[in-house]
Amino acid sequence: MSHGFRSEEVSQGALSLQSGAVIHPKAFTASSKESLLLYQGSLVDQSAATMPTAKFPHYFIIGAQKGCAESLKQYIDTMGLGCSGGGEGNFWSHYTMDTTEPGFSNNLTRYLSRWNQCKSETLRFDKTPSYAFHPLVPIWIAQQVPADQHKFVFLLRDPIHRAISGFHNERDRHGYGPGNHTLDSFHQMVTFEIAIVNQCKGLEMAAEYSSCCAHAVKSVDPDYENWNNWEGCGDNRWWFGNHVRRGLYYDQLKQWFTHVHRDNILIFVSEDMYHYVADAAFEIDSWVRTGARTSWPNSEHAITVAARHLSWAGLLDHSFRPHNLTRMMRNDTYKLLADFYRPYHKKLELLIGKNITGWTYLEDN
């Protein structure tokens, strides 16, 4: 039986790791019910939400991109457990949240209208994976959405598999980036991304970021003719050319824990969604409505239904089969990513108070 988990209790500012607590794909370990805000003194006064009467979604599926969120959304919609209002909301990651700006009210009204056709008793939810990655989204949501609707679902997928899946998805849909669907073009993107993280980390919201980012690209490949226009460096950097950075879950959750009470974030390992999407859907429904998690009794039937719905989103093909994904990159690319992610993985485990095993680059270490 699979379970989502919430991060463990933090005592006197120090992270406590529960002894022997292991989360492995196909076998969740539930967390303690008690947890505290990791970072005291949040920058946001949540009591100052400007529009408390607006019909915001009851919860958000915020990431990670290519982490099984679409299949989860389809199952919830189809089984009547919730109402997504259609595709991805993208409101909090695409618009400025300056309520004094002309057009803000219209943008907000248009965003909220997506749930006009939902039944009143049905839980409204917004599935937008880009919310996890954009650093301002948790601040904006904390300011605008009433605190009793601060419920967030975060899906953690092996970041190497997430990167290659996101890379090909982006090229299929948008055609961005160097080259086409080649091993070399993926390797080039990875080397650019790692250089950007190493040279420009912490400057993402600063004016000098674009310049730092472009010079990082040039430092990797001085002959790359578009080094000053790399998609991961410009205004679209939150959506394109960021496949390695999207896997830095430690940084993303750290930002969310700063502005949203950590007890309001339910975390799943994406690989488990492949087998237990139905269980997760019912667990989310119970958690949002009552604050409690539940074990769905009819799991054998639920898994059968889950497999059928997973196939709708294409997750029964290459995108969730690790042996196929590792064949879609060069060996040196895989090693580069594995060496890059391992230190972040250890920090992630300390942050959430749980061990995560089963991701391929951990087994190779």
Q: Is residue 264 part of a domain?
A: yes
pTM: 0.78
Domain holding 232, by residue range, is 177-240
pLDDT at res. 51: 45
Number of structural domains the chain divides into: 2
**Sign of the CA dihedral running 50, 53, 56, 59:** positive
Q: Which amino acid is at 123?
A: L
Alpha helices by DSSP H, listed for 120-182, are 130-133, 137-144, 159-173
Q: Is residue 191 part of a domain?
A: yes
pLDDT digits (tens, 9 = 90+) for 330-358: 999 999 999 999 999 999 999 998 888 77
Q: Which of 304, 357, 360 is nearest to 331 (CA)?
A: 360
pLDDT digits (tens, 9 = 90+) for 260-317: 998 899 999 888 777 788 888 999 999 999 887 655 444 333 333 333 333 333 333 3
Residues 324, 294 share a domain: yes
Q: Is residue 165 part of a domain?
A: no
Residues 144, 37 share a domain: yes
Residues 271, 152 share a domain: yes
Residue 347 gets the label, from left (phi > 0), alpha (psi -120 to 50) or beta, of: alpha
Non-local CB neighbours of 50 within 8 Å, separated by 6+ positions: 99, 143, 144
Residues 328, 236 share a domain: no
Rounded to 10 degrees, what is the CA torsion of 349, 64, 5, 139?
90
**Contact 149/156 with Cβ under 8 angstroms?**
no
pLDDT digits (tens, 9 = 90+) for 59-90: 999 988 888 898 899 999 999 999 999 888 88
pLDDT at res. 46: 35
Percent of the chain whose predicted confidence (pLDDT) is above 70: 68
Residue 69, CA atoms < 13 Å, CB-side half-sphere: 28
Q: Is residue 172 part of a domain?
A: no
